[in-house]
Amino acid sequence: MLIALRKEFLLQWRSRAQLVAVLVFGAAALLLFSFAIGPNAAALRQFSAGFLWLGLLLSSTLTLAESFHAEMENRALEGLLLLPTSPRVIYYGKAIANWIQLAIIGLSLVPVMVVLYDAGTTRILSLVFIILLGSAGLSAPGTLYAAMTAQIRSKQTLLPLLLFPLIVPALLASVKATSLVILGDPMSEGRSWIILLVAFDAIYWSLCGLLFGRVVDE
């Protein structure tokens, strides 16, 4: 798995211009959302968490849709599957690399959110932890569906249609937990949403790893 993960990091480093483009896209999405609210500072701060995760969600579709592009060229994925190892190793290497990339995008969008929505917080570690959990919830099923749609010409259209309904619990928990970190949590509600995120991640990181071999064989 470490070898597969190293391969993914090398591919991401060589296509780092794409990561910069995705970051610019996410920042532009946050800017457009701020225009939609207008000059209402209280409303901007109140909805900042939702806009942050919506920007990351839109950016993730661009990243995940292209995550198997290199493997589809010259039938490289078939060569990987012929290696004397489990397909789950390939999946977890790809999913962890996607997770790290999505986490970088999410953390990079936080300063943009703070500037545009005046949504600063002193609970930085809690915010980072939630972004890591939420991006993991996007990465696990997103990587599986990216493998399913990799050979389809309209993959960038089909992937969001398959992915978005599935990740509603993780997205809702991420938005609520982030909002409580920014706006305050006097009733200690954030712990329940974090537990939901952890449960979602545990289920889908296990389930998608088990299903990946069947998906790529078909």
Cα 185 from Cα 56, distance rounded (Å): 23
Summarised one tens digit per residue, pLDDT across range 56-106 is: 988 888 888 777 766 666 666 666 666 677 778 888 888 898 898 899 999
Number of Cβ within 10 Å of residue 14's Cβ equals 10
Q: Are 52 and 178 in contact (CB under 8 A)?
A: yes
Q: Are 1 and 91 in contact (CB under 8 A)?
A: no
Domain extents in the chain: 2-217
What percent of the chain lies above the pLDDT cut of 90?
16
What pLDDT score does 131 carry? Answer: 92
Confidence bin at 195 (pLDDT 50/70/90) = very high
Cα 177 from Cα 190, distance rounded (Å): 5
Number of Cβ within 10 Å of residue 15's Cβ equals 13
